[in-house]
Structure 1
């Protein structure tokens, strides 16, 4: 069986990015375990923000959407299709100014769609993208996970669970500014044990 990996790069740095380098390492480790294909979505290449037209199109019944509304949702549809096809997500996610990069938030806004990736039922929201695994490599210069200024680790786990992805492994490479060698070495060791 082939493991279909969707790689999401959220770092705006194409070179010198710790999250990209560790994602490379993780992808290689996963490839060594079984047959894999990898599709990459590089958010540094740009991603549209949701707009009033997007919201109106999304709230319009699928059979009643105009050609313009379908066009407005086409990027969202493509991003969701990538997610649906993937078995495993590898998300390289730096922390910028105590939270996720704006492009990653825009990606979340594009893929979190009622009746497509989640729905509301009698028991509340239910994620529709089930039976997937996610590895999230969190990198930062000074923010450390589990502290009072960690606003990202709970956010990413909650957001992925909201769309149905509950099997999430966080790989901590935070605090690089304090001890780069130790932080990177620890992250690589975690990856090697997966």
Structure 2
């Protein structure tokens, strides 16, 4: 090669590996501008905020906050006030049921028993329906298995007949002709 040709190859090589301007500008946009200066990068790396004691305190704080919120939800659910100064309040004696209201309580209990019975009946009915559906499904599957076995046995018998050969190795035509006759008769009907 001549020196002039080598120079041209060198220029071509540089142009192949040089990134187009649009690509570098896209990368700058993607990275959020030109980036940090070397000093800013070094200062950012030298500052460490890793303190195991603080991390442990934060973790404990969030854990306790979770427990407190669960406790408040539980109290709210039980219709107790959210004020922690009254943790275990019993209802006043005026609100305790008098002896005459036992009949009302008896009716309530009876309704609960009736509803429990009806729930049991609904459960039993549903269980029977599911069992019936399962039995029907099993019967269908069993029938399909039987059909499959029957068709397989028929195919096996037909295959044996079709593969029979004479002493000289020629196929036995008797079974093949019968098979063709069955096909013709089947297509007519």
Fold shared, TM-score > 0.5 on shorter chain:
no
TM-score bin (small chain)? under 0.3
Query: Which is greater in Rg?
Result: 2
Give the TM-score normalised by the residue count of structure 1: 0.14
Greater RCO between the two (CA within 8 Å, min separation 6)? 1
Q: Which has the higher helix share?
A: 2
